[in-house]
Chains A and B, each alone.
Chain A
Amino acid sequence: MENRPLEYDYTVAKMFMFTTIVLGIVGMLIGVILAFQLAFPGVNLILGEGLAEYTNFSRLRPLHTDAVIFGFTLSGVFATWYYVGQRVLKVSMAESKFLMTLGKIHFWLYLVVVTAAVVSLFAGVTSSKEYAEFEWPIDIGVVVVWVIWGMGLFGLIGIRREKSLYISIWYYIATFLGIAMLYLFNNMAIPTMLGASAAGESGIGAWYHSVSMYAGTNDALVQWWYGHNAVAFGFTVPIVAMIYYFLPKESGQAIYSYKLSLLSFWGLMFVYLWAGGHHLLYSTVPDWMQTMGSIFSIILILPSWGSAINMLLTMKGEWQQVAASPLIKFMILASTFYMFSTLEGPIQAIKSVNAIAHFTDWIVGHVHDGVLGWVGFMIMAALYHMAPRVFKREIYSKSLMVAQFWIQTLGVVLYFTSMWIAGITQGMMWRAHDEFGNLAYSFIDTVTVLHPYYTIRGIGGLLYLVGFLMFAYNIYKTMSARPVEERELQNASPMGA
């Protein structure tokens, strides 16, 4: 046997890189439109009165969240899995015809489900549950896609050469199991055609309509157990998987502490699921669950910061790389935003803070410093690292990357600072009483006061979108304009000037 490194097959990784970028643009563009609709309601008629039903805020809002979660982020997770998985397990997809076929089916079926989801949300077919809006036919599609991914994942692990599972693999396994459990239980519903036919009527109403298995408070409890942990297993766990691979690889530094990764991983697994109750503070779910939600949210700082500190300390003695390499910049800022966001979340989960923050834009701000700063930056960094290797070409432009980095950072900062101010302003105005004990403000006062912050937020979002388009352009030019390299680099990605 020749003494040369293994060659890997990136066919499926490339396919998912493509959807990461396309769905990222779609999701973020809709987000920017939504932001300006809140600042300038006329934007609801962006395509005219005739199409108002399909362009107004309420119809687009689930499309934005789902396009970013299940489109951009999930594509990024799959793209990196089909890249990282092979490399840390030391086995190529090309070695198994079965796994290769499975990977391709995974992609095409994913595309079909995404298309069906987009059409149904535009049509207003929704279960109303956040990040679980899809009706049962699409849910079944989601489950099939997920099972196929799981088969591919465990299949590749099954034929691995490297016996010990690297940290990233732990997190990918957890992503698979976590989402599978949450998605199944939260979407339990009875199609109404079953109920109708049991009552002697058949073929009544919309065939795709269903009714939730849970009612009222129970339904809320299951939904936020899901909603919070969809964030955990979609926006945290797989992104940690990425940074554990890409940061050491790009910087040439070993992970700072194995023990810290152990503590963070198992801590995160145990603690995260309890914290869902913090979405339901002062609601009608039992008090002890609300308190548990609060307490475990605070405890959650430990494993979250464990991972983030492990990442930052991995750069120990090599900080000059942050200045030199835009790719390292993206990853260091991502883990910094991860620390920031996982401190902000627990603060909002404290009952007395939540009394002000809940239902306001501060929550929206929190979600976005996490998703734009942490998830978005990490996925883009991952794709930047992968691109020279899967296309065997230098990254097109380093200066474009640097410009993109600063534009997007400014965008994120504008976004969360304006939403902090908006959220706290509104929360305080809602509860303000005058000297006679009457409410000081009517509701509309608390809406009109937000106009400047909504405008700033829209600009912040727009800057981030512009940066993302620069990213897409840079990747496109990398694919098409650069000469093919002879060999692959081990660490830092090759970049053009």
Chain B
Amino acid sequence: MFHWLEKHPFFFAVGVFVTIAFAGLVEILPNFAQASRPVIGTAPYSTLELAGRHVYIKNSCNACHSQLVRPFKSETDRYGHYSLSGEYAYDRPFLWGSKRTGPDLMRVGNYRTTDWHENHMKDPASVVPGSIMPAYKWMFANKADIDTAFAEQLTVAQYFSVPYNEPVPMRDGSKKIVKMGASIAEANELALQEAKLIAADMRDQDVKDAVARGEIPEIVALIAYMNSLK
């Protein structure tokens, strides 16, 4: 059979393809059939949080920070409850990372604050002596891309039925509604309202002035995203 295949490239290629495609069919498809559903307490990202997530991706934060708490005592002691599949239901793409040069960030919103992040992103070693993380000063000057975040919200609401403007059950029994703007102007207004709350806790005068002018620096969006990780 093999001698015959080696003289017939078409059938050889078909044979190879079937052999390599087999594992994917068996391993990947069943999990898709029961696609991950959100757990109670997991809500979609707001416009500003999503813009912050884009800043996180743009700067490849995931190259050094994981977002996956494994079920070991040492990890739950350090980072909090181990990760559940449903907590990632709105993560497109997933940001688990593959390397912890820095600590896990899955639940960083539980134990770090806005001003901690502000100081840390400006000069990491001043907050964590010995840190080898570089400073991200340009995030205080660059403007966050709210429009793209809004376009992504529209896309996921349209194609993946992500529940914006709908009540989502929270862990304490309450309902939360994550609002999505009906127009681009409204989306920017919603993001700015959220940004003002963050900027109020920040010390950088340039950032405060920018938000007062109606602009949103990247750092504000990033902190909104960091604070949402719980």
Q: Is B194 an interface residue (CB 8 A)?
A: no
For residue B103, give the distance in angstroms from its CB to the closest CB of chain A.
Answer: 4
Chain A residue with minimal CB distance to B16?
A: A174
Within 8 A of B (CB), among A196-241: 196, 198-199, 201, 204-206, 209, 211-212, 214-223, 225
Q: Is the CB of B20 within 8 A of A129?
A: no
Expressed in whole angstroms, the Cα–Cα distance for A193 and B135 within the complex equals 33
For residue A126, give the distance in angstroms from its CB to the closest CB of chain B.
Answer: 6
For residue B229, give the distance in angstroms from its CB to the closest CB of chain A.
Answer: 14
Q: Is the CB of A225 within 8 A of B160?
A: no
Q: Is A400 an interface residue (CB 8 A)?
A: no
Q: Is B173 an interface residue (CB 8 A)?
A: no
Q: Is the CB of B16 within 8 A of A205?
A: no
Chain A residue with minimal CB distance to B162?
A: A215
Interface centre among A49, A154, A219 (most CB of B within 10 A): A219
Q: Is the CB of A262 within 8 A of B84?
A: no
Q: Is B35 an interface residue (CB 8 A)?
A: yes
Within 8 A of A (CB), among B151-166: 151-152, 154-160
A275-311 contact mask (Cβ, 8 Å, vs B): 1 or 0: 0110100111110010010001000000000000000
Expressed in whole angstroms, the Cα–Cα distance for A79 and B148 within the complex equals 40
- Using known A-B contacts A53-B138, A205-B145, determine if residue A126 contacts B20 with beta carbons closer than 8 Å: no
Q: Is the CB of A196 within 8 A of B70?
A: no
Which of A173, A185, A220, A279 is close to B94, meaning CB atoms less than 8 Å apart? A220
Interface size of B by CB at 8 A reads 87
Within 8 A of A (CB), among B176-207: 183-184
Chain B residues lying within 8 Å of A190, measured Cβ to Cβ, are 155, 159
Q: Is the CB of B130 within 8 A of A283?
A: no
For residue B86, give the distance in angstroms from its CB to the closest CB of chain A.
Answer: 8
Q: Is the CB of A211 within 8 A of B92?
A: yes
User: Interface on chain A toward B: helix, strand, loop, or mixed SS?
Assistant: helix
Q: Is the CB of A447 within 8 A of B84?
A: no
Q: Is the CB of A217 within 8 A of B36?
A: yes
User: Interface on chain B toward A: helix, strand, loop, or mixed SS?
Assistant: helix
For residue B79, give the distance in angstroms from its CB to the closest CB of chain A.
Answer: 10
A41-83 contact mask (Cβ, 8 Å, vs B): 1 or 0: 1001100010011001111011000000000000000000000
Chain A residues lying within 8 Å of B225, measured Cβ to Cβ, are none
Q: Is the CB of B184 within 8 A of A204?
A: yes
Expressed in whole angstroms, the Cα–Cα distance for A363 and B36 within the complex equals 28
Q: Is B58 an interface residue (CB 8 A)?
A: yes
Chain B residues lying within 8 Å of A438, measured Cβ to Cβ, are 77
- Using known A-B contacts A127-B93, A192-B152, A198-B158, determine if residue A206 contacts B145 with beta carbons closer than 8 Å: yes
Which of A59, A174, A292 is close to B59, meaning CB atoms less than 8 Å apart? A59
For residue A172, give the distance in angstroms from its CB to the closest CB of chain B.
Answer: 11
- Using known A-B contacts A124-B59, A192-B155, A269-B20, determine if residue A58 contacts B148 with beta carbons closer than 8 Å: no
Sampled A-B contacts (11; CB under 8 Å): A57-B64, A154-B9, A158-B9, A170-B6, A177-B17, A195-B159, A196-B150, A201-B183, A215-B88, A217-B36, A359-B66
Instruction: Name B residues whose Cβ lies closer than 8 Å to a Cβ of A.
Output: 2-3, 6-7, 9, 12-13, 16-17, 19-24, 27-28, 31-32, 35-36, 57-64, 66, 68, 70-75, 77-78, 83-85, 87-103, 125, 128-138, 145, 147-152, 154-160, 183-184
Instruction: Name A residues whose Cβ lies closer than 8 Å to a Cβ of B.
Output: 37-38, 41, 44-45, 49, 52-53, 56-59, 61-62, 124-130, 154, 157-158, 163-165, 170, 173-174, 177-178, 181, 185, 190, 192-196, 198-199, 201, 204-206, 209, 211-212, 214-223, 225, 262, 266, 269-270, 272-274, 276-277, 279, 282-286, 289, 292, 296, 355, 358-361, 363-364, 430-433, 438-439, 443-444, 447-448
Top-5 shortest CB links A-B: A195-B155, A216-B88, A205-B148, A273-B23, A124-B58
